[in-house]
Amino acid sequence: MIELLEQYGRLLLVGHYPNGPLGGLAMTILTSLLCLAICFPIATLLALARTHGNKTLARFYTGYIYFVRSMPLLMLIFWIYYFLPYVLPFSLSPFVTIVLAITIFSSAYLAEVIRAAIEALPKGQYDAASALGFRYWQTTFLIVLPQALTNCIPGLVSQFILIIKETSLGYIITFNELTYVAHELNKILLVKPVEIFTILAISYFVLCSGLSQLGGQLERRIARGRLSNDSDQ
Amino acid sequence: MTVTNEDPILQIKDVHCKFGNFEALKGINAQLEKNEVVVVCGPSGSGKSTLIRTLNRLESISAGQILFEGRDIYEKGMSVETLRTKIGMVFQSFNLFPHLSARDNVALGLIRVLHRPKKEAEQTASELLASVGLGDELHKKPMELSGGQQQRVSICRAVALEPTVMLFDEPTSALDPEMVGEVLSLMKTLAGRGMTMLCVTHEMGFAKEVADSIWFMADGQMVDRAPVSDFFSGDISDRAKSFLKAIH
Amino acid sequence: MTLDYSAILEDRYFDYLVSGAITTFSLALAAWVAAIILGLLIAAVRNIDFLPTRWFCIVFVDYHRSVPLLVQLFVWYFALPELLPQAFTQSINRGNPEVFFAWVSLTLYSASYMSEDIRSGLRAIPPGQFEAARTIGMNYAKMMRWVIFPQAWRLSLPPLVNQALILFKGTSLASAIGVAELSYQARSIETQTFRAFEAFSLVTLIYMVGTIMIMFFGDRLVARYALKRG
């Protein structure tokens, strides 16, 4: 296994970069970060659509959540990658497909997390804001979101882990991320499936398990902060 | 207080109880006679709840001896389950089983522990609940009942097993003020029927009216044990006096 | 582009869809049942006060929650047959190894999540419930059977329903190791007829029917059995 890592470790880490396209683990992480960065503002807006109080917006939100919950991510990838070229003058690259599909999906899940955090805020916060004469957007951006989004940080970490795991579906449309690179390597070498897939699984395990430990610590810290705030009151 | 020649029901001999380095009970001596009603009071953290929880082995003691009907409760061959059916307990937070109706809460012990036939147990439970004024609430779940009603159900759950002694751990502390009366009057009825009772409570009115003796505890020690008349006429320690002053 | 469902609803492709749907639904159901049993078992073993078994459970659960399901499928399908005794591999290969390994992967994956759901259901039961059961004279077995378990499964129900949903959708990944389930058939029909919209919309619709059924019955179950506590 050591020998394999010496020879192909670099390929699994960064693909053919810098002499060719980036790939492997680096691609997985960068794509995941990009997806998370795009998801976050969309999810926040979605959550606000739900909590705003407008019925049409709330219905749109519910419809969107149900739509995402009712379909496998793989089918969405099929729609984008295999169907869109029939109706568009161009086709989307595997990279764009994955980012688009994951963003559509994760925005819904993250929106649920943010919505829960907004709804968990004590009603007194809204009363205090209106007592100060704040309008909706002032209340939202100065009072509600700063608190709710801070409480969401552990949820954000969990979402990041989910996204990293979802990027592995890139393999199906030959997107150059870690799972695809490992699978290709297996096809070339043929005789080392045990080593290759063990390395692949361990890589994800270390990355995601580590992140979830971090998320757990953040959660405990935030919970402690909230407790001490409560006892101050 | 009924004077009898029988052995005390409960004898507590030099009982110690430790949680890690903290000594919650520091050598308690006391005894409970048949038909006696005792109110245990004292500041919070004095060990009064711990004391009654050691009596049915919800907490283990680290030294000393507890005799129930003359037998050591830690003695070999003494089944802890049988002991607990003979010592009923009522908790501050009711601890009713939320997945069962009021009737089924009361019937559960009869069916699963005393192995009574289901029909008969349900009949007994229904009659018992009706006798405490809950005949219309038999099929409600605990969450559909008020706090006072829940506590009455939980008293019935304990009484159903026909225990020899009843332990009450601050039974009215979690109740809204207007519901305290209904629970206390049920306890008074029980006492009137000759039930032996040990009640941790701050309800001094109840103590005056119903109790035979008062045990006053502080810092894990039994500071005073006095007949109720002596206790309220002031024949007690200074600590107990200042405690009484503080809660009035 | 004109829509023409008749082209893909002719005998051959219709058969693709039906067999795909049957594979998807039965794979999901078989894995769900096995996962609940295994999940309960893991939750029980995890609570035993013996370090080796506890650590095994922790790592087992952590592995299945941290590694993408697709990679778990690859490990089972490509790597493990090399390590298993040959006689065993051969007997699997005589049947349908793709479906077998997909079932194993989905079961282990789901069981890991479910065991955590069951454990948090157990933890959500207040200590007073255990004490109350003890005070009416119940021993450990009776307490678990009549007081704790009836509450734990009710408390675990909402996440277990959600897990059924995730599992059902997760079967789609089995196509990557060649299981001929719904999304596999969607691609086959599309590549053979070039009718992407018709093929994908039908398959998406079947998935939606499945997920909406799970959500609907799940919600009814939760509404009926959920514990109300103040």
Express each pLDDT in B187-197 by its tens digit: 999 999 999 99
pLDDT at C98 over 80: yes
CB-closest option in B82, B98, B144 to C137: B82
Which residue in the set A87, A169, A208 is minimally distant from C70, CB to CB? A169
Contact between chains at A161 and C66 (C-beta distance less than 8 A): yes
Share the mean pLDDT of chain A: 92
Find the closest chain C residue to A73 by CA distance: C169
Average pLDDT over residues C158-178: 95
Q: State pLDDT tens for residues C204-217.
A: 999 999 999 999 99
Going by pLDDT thresholds of 50, 70 and 90, the confidence category of residue B10 is: very high
pLDDT at C166 over 90: yes
pLDDT of residue B133 exceeding 60, the answer is: yes
Q: For chain A, which chains pass the contact test of at least 3 CB pairs under 8 Å?
A: C
Does position A231 have pLDDT exceeding 70, yes or no? no
**Count of Cβ atoms closer than 10 Å to residue C217 Cβ:** 12
pLDDT average, residue stretch A101-129: 94
Predicted confidence at residue B2, as pLDDT, reads: 47
Among the listed ranges A77-81, A164-168, B148-152, C78-82, which one has the minimum average pLDDT value? C78-82
* CA angle in degrees (0–180, nearest 5) for B1-B5-B10: 70
Select from C129, C137, C150 the Cβ nearest to the Cβ of B109.
C137
A193-232 and A145-166 helices cross at what angle (nearest 10)?
A: 170
Mapping DSSP to helix (H, G, I), strand (E, B) and coil, where does residue A53 land?
coil
- Average pLDDT rounded to a whole number, residues B180-185: 95
Contact check, Cβ <8 Å, A75/C204: yes
Which of chain B's residues have a Cβ under 8 Å away from the Cβ of C139? 81
CATH C-level class of C6-225: mainly alpha
| Cβ-based interface (< 8 Å): residues of C facing B | 126, 128-129, 131-139, 142, 146-147, 150-151, 154, 227-230
In angstroms, the CA C119 to CA C224 distance is 22
Look at the alpha carbons of B132, B138, B144, B150 in this order and tell me if their dihedral is positive or negative: positive
Of C68, C208, C212, the CB nearest to A165: C68
Task: Kindly identify which residue of chain C lies nearest to residue B83, measuring between CA atoms.
Answer: C137
Domain A2-232 CATH class label: mainly alpha
Average pLDDT over residues B37-64: 94
Give the tens place of pLDDT for each residue, B92-118. 999 999 999 999 999 999 999 999 999
Q: What is the mean pLDDT of residues B68-82?
A: 91
* Chain C residues in contact with A161 (beta carbon < 8 A): 66
Tokens of C144: 């678990």
Closest CA to B148 of B183, B118, B113, B96: B183
User: What is the band of A233 on the pLDDT scale with cuts at 50, 70, 90?
Assistant: very low
Q: A49 falls in which pLDDT band (50, 70, 90)? A: very high
Give DSSP secondary structure letters for chain B.
Answer: ----SSPPSEEEEEEEEEETTEEEEEEEEEEE-TT-EEEEE-STTSSHHHHHHHHTTSS--SEEEEEETTEETTSTT--HHHHHHHEEEE-TT----TTS-HHHHHHHHHHHTS---HHHHHHHHHHHHHHTT-TT-TT--GGGS-HHHHHHHHHHHHHTT--SEEEEESTTTTS-HHHHHHHHHHHHHHHHTT-EEEEE---HHHHHHH-SEEEEEETTEEEEEEEHHHHHHT-S-HHHHHHHHHH-
Q: List strand residue ranges (DSSP E) for chain A, in order.
A: none
In angstroms, the Cα distances linking B214 to A66, B48, B227 are 63, 12, 6
Q: What's the pLDDT at A156?
A: 94
Residues B201-239 pLDDT 10s: 999 999 999 999 999 999 999 999 999 999 988 888 999
Of these ranges, A173-182, A184-193, C10-19, the one predicted with the greatest mean pLDDT is: A173-182
**Is C230's pLDDT higher than 60?**
no
The whole-number average pLDDT for the span B168-173 is 96
DSSP A22: B
pLDDT at B1: 45
Q: How far is A87 from chain C (nearest CA, A)?
A: 8
Of A39, A44, A8, A18, residue with least CA distance to A187? A8
Q: Is the pLDDT of residue C142 over 60?
A: yes
Name the closest residue on chain A to residue C173, using Cα atoms: A74
What band does C3 get if pLDDT is binned at 50, 70 and 90?
confident
Interatomic CA distance for residues A192 and A187, integer angstroms? 9
| Residue of A168, A185, A195 for testing the chain C interface, max C β-carbons within 10 Å | A168
Question: What integer pLDDT is reported at residue C48 of this predicted model?
Answer: 86
- Specify the pLDDT at position A227: 65
**Which of C125, C131, C135 to probe the B interface (max B CBs under 10 A)?**
C135
Q: B147 to chain C nearest CA, in Å?
A: 10
Is the CA virtual torsion B58, B63, B64, B67 positive or negative? positive
Q: Where are the domains of chain A?
A: 2-232
The 3-class SS string of chain C reads CCCCHHHCCCHHHHHHHHHHHHHHHHHHHHHHHHHHHHHHHHHHHHCCCCHHHHHHHHHHHHHHHHCCHHHHHHHHHHHHHHHCCHHHHHHHHHCCHHHHHHHHHHHHHHHHHHHHHHHHHHHCCCHHHHHHHHHCCCCHHHHHHHHHHHHHHHHHHHHHHHHHHHHHHHHHHHHHHCCCCHHHHHHHHHHHHCCHHHHHHHHHHHHHHHHHHHHHHHHHHHHHHCCCCC
Q: Which two tokens stand for residue A45?
A: 């807006």
Chain B residues with CB-CB distance to C129 below 8 A = 95, 97
Chains A and C touch (3+ CB pairs under 8 A): yes
**Mean pLDDT of the C144-165 span:** 92
Is 80 exceeded by the pLDDT of residue A116?
A: yes
Per-residue model confidence (pLDDT) at position B5? 56
Question: d(Cα B173, Cα B147) in Å, to the nearest integer?
Answer: 11
Q: B144: distance to nearest CA of chain C, Å?
A: 9
Q: Which residues does A178 contact at the CB level (< 8 Å), separation at least 6? A: A12, A24, A25, A27, A28, A167, A168, A200, A203, A204
With a pLDDT cut of 90, the percent of chain B lying above it is: 88
Do the Cβ atoms of A75 and C75 come within 8 Å?
A: no
Torsion angle, alpha carbons of A193, A196, A199, A205, to 10: -60
Residue C25 confidence (pLDDT): 97
Q: Say if the Cβ atoms of C131 and B141 lie within 8 Å.
A: no
Q: With cut-offs at 50, 70 and 90, classify the pLDDT of residue C82.
A: confident
Q: Measured between CB atoms, does B95 come within 8 Å of chain C?
A: yes
pLDDT tens per residue across span A76-88: 999 999 999 989 9
> What amino acid is encoded at B135 in this protein?
G
CB B188 within 8 Å of CB B166: no
Q: Is B116 left (phi over 0), alpha (psi -120 to 50) or beta?
A: beta
Q: What's the gap in Å between the CA of A64 and the closest CA on chain C?
A: 13
Which chains lie within 8 Å of chain C at 3 or more CB pairs, if any? A, B
pLDDT for residue C229 is more than 70: no
> Residue A230: what pLDDT?
53
**Residue A18 preceded by cis peptide, ω within 30:** yes
CA C169 to CA A99: how far, in whole Å? 20
Alpha-carbon span A5 to A200, nearest angstrom: 11
What are the chain A neighbours of C166 within 8 Å (beta carbons)?
Answer: none
Residues of chain C neighbouring B114 (CB-CB closer than 8 A)? 137
Q: Cα–Cα distance between B214 and B30 in angstroms, integer?
A: 11
Say yes or no to pLDDT of A200 above 60. yes
3-state secondary structure of A145: helix
Contact C183 A74 (CB under 8 A): yes
What are the beta bridge partners of residue B200?
A: B40, B169
Local structure of residue A140 (DSSP, 8 states): I
> Residue A17: pLDDT band by 50, 70, 90 thresholds?
confident
